[in-house]
Amino acid sequence: MGSDRRTRRAALEGRISDVATGSAGEDLADLAHRVRHSFPGRCAVRFIEMAGIDRSMVLASQAFTSLIPLLILVATWAPASEGDVVGDTLVSKFGLEGDAASAVQQLFHVPEAASSQVSAFSALLLVISGTSFTRRFQRMYRAAYGQEKAGVRSGVYSTLGLFVLLAEVFVLYGARALVQFLPLTWLFTLPITILTGTLLWTSIPYLLLNRQVHWRRLVAGGVLAAVATAAYSLATTIYMPDLIERYTEEFGLFGVTIALIGWLLVVAFILVGTASIASEFDASLSPWAVAMKARFRLEDPALERREPSAEELAAGLSGDDIRLAIRVLASWGILAAAVWAATVVVPGIAVPGGFGTYVTVSLALGLVSALLGALPRLLPVPHSLFVIAGLSLVVNGLLLSVVAWISPGLDVAGFGDAVLGATVIAVVTGVLEVVWRPIKQHL
């Protein structure tokens, strides 16, 4: 058993070496083909075919221009003791304080007489605008599941979907309000958020697809969307307060708008991405997907499952490919954690923008290091340990400066901060690699 594992690992490392030296063009093309036909590859292709990035941008902008005003209109019907429901909810959700909280409350402030001043015509316009937003969602889900438009009935279900969306949003708000006075609020809030999110992102697609797709086939997407949005909601409590405060100082109330549109863009991207993954899972005939759908009853009982062909069963990534991907992702995560540690330790290094920016900066740093990181070994200098170590720190500082120059997500005050940050990154990376190495050896 141990010798077989060592043989497979040696073969995998040999293949990685061949790819790195450019002597395995056919293997690389083979790998690209397997990636293309693997489940993640098919999800990516489906996302591209859905025009996922464009749809995310349109959904985010329309949510800000139509859905949020509609939420404010509905909030005017709340009792006066509730205050500005939308503004207070955003302040509580993002954990805002000081000027940032004041700016958000000012942006969403509802005058006391607003409910009497809103005309029926204005309310109708907002409902029409909100229905246009749900129709965008409807087109996205139809593109994901390959459904045709159903004429007038499609418009009826999009309007019904809007009211269900508003109702479930306020149910979620009420549920969170009930548990906020309990000890260890987060312990109750997270399960409630995932449960209501699953209900929301299962029922909304079911309605918007005109009930032509059995609800069981949509549950996986609902769970995935609920977990992803809940995780992002936790992440926003970390980076959104500083982001809104900085944008408020630079742009005033317009800065709050920029931050919220960015937040909505990520949410829209999550929803479009999870829809592409869920629809691909629904269509997948891979053994693991078929077994999971049978185990959790995620299929339409009225439909007969088609048997996969031998070619379909053989397509996709091999076990070695998956192990390689895990190693690459783990190395990427270690580098992202090291970059975060550098921003904490070194005052002159900052990564504005949140979790996504850390991931992007770490990717850029890894690519630059792969291209230029071999410089200390190539330069004609004495091969003393101290000389090589000192030169490596200088080169790593230069690499960090290069990444800061090419990436707007990384700010480095000076070269001394770059060298110190590179030292922190090297130390943290080394420590995490020691922790990761025993796990990696068993892959």
| Structure confidence by residue, pLDDT tens digits, 143-182 | 999 887 766 777 788 888 878 887 777 777 676 667 666 6
Percentage of the chain beyond pLDDT 90 is: 15
Which is higher by pLDDT, 215 or 185? Answer: 215
pLDDT in tens, 254-292: 788 888 888 889 999 999 999 999 999 998 888 888 889
How large is the average pLDDT for residues 427-435? Answer: 85
Is residue 225 scored above 90 in pLDDT?
yes
Is residue 124 scored above 80 in pLDDT?
no
pLDDT in tens, 398-409: 777 777 777 777
Q: Which residues pair with 179 in a beta bridge?
A: none
Which is higher by pLDDT, 114 or 340? Answer: 340
Is residue 107 scored above 80 in pLDDT?
no
Which is higher by pLDDT, 260 or 23? Answer: 260
At 435, the pLDDT band (50, 70, 90 cuts) reads: confident
What pLDDT score was predicted for residue 17? 45
pLDDT in tens, 4-19: 555 555 554 454 444 4
Contact 270, 228 (CB under 8 A): yes
Is residue 228 scored above 80 in pLDDT?
yes
What pLDDT score was predicted for residue 258? 85
pLDDT in tens, 30-78: 666 777 778 888 899 999 999 999 999 999 888 887 766 766 665 555 5
Phi, psi (5° rounding) for residue 350? Answer: -140, 145
What pLDDT score was predicted for residue 76? 59
Q: CB-based burial of residue 305 (10 Å sphere; 0-12 exposed, 13-18 middle, 19+ buried)?
A: exposed
The listed range with the strongest mean pLDDT (277-291, 296-310, 362-376) is 277-291
The pTM for the full model equals 0.68
Written as six digits, the tokens of 197 are 């999110």
What pLDDT score was predicted for residue 307? 75
What pLDDT score was predicted for residue 18? 46
Q: Which amino acid appears at position 380 of this protein?
A: P
- Which residues contact residue 275 at a Cβ distance below 8 angstroms, ignoring those fewer than 6 apart? 50, 140, 141, 144, 205, 221, 225
Which is higher by pLDDT, 142 or 327? Answer: 142
At 21, the pLDDT band (50, 70, 90 cuts) reads: very low
Instruction: Provide the phi-psi class of 51: left if phi over 0, else alpha when psi is between -120 and 50, else beta.
Output: left
Q: Where are the domains of the chain?
A: 44-283, 319-441
What pLDDT score was predicted for residue 331? 82
What pLDDT score was predicted for residue 252? 77
- In the three-class reduction of DSSP (H, G, I as helix; E, B as strand; rest coil), residue 350 is classed as strand
Which is higher by pLDDT, 432 or 89? Answer: 432
What pLDDT score was predicted for residue 273? 95
Distance of CA 222 to the CA centre of its chain: 15
Is residue 345 scored above 70 in pLDDT?
yes
What pLDDT score was predicted for residue 267? 92
Q: Among 355, 354, 341, 351, which Cα is nearest to 408's?
A: 351
d(CA 370, CA 372): 6
Phi, psi (5° rounding) for residue 190? Answer: -65, -50
Is residue 104 scored above 80 in pLDDT?
no
Which is higher by pLDDT, 356 or 132? Answer: 132
CA distance to 118, 150, 165, 203, per residue, from 303 (Å): 49, 21, 29, 20
Which is higher by pLDDT, 251 or 169? Answer: 251
Which is higher by pLDDT, 79 or 167? Answer: 167
Phi, psi (5° rounding) for residue 274? Answer: -70, -30
- In the three-class reduction of DSSP (H, G, I as helix; E, B as strand; rest coil), residue 110 is classed as coil
Mean pLDDT (the chain) is: 76
d(CA 38, CA 32): 10
Number of H helices, E strands in the chain: 20, 2
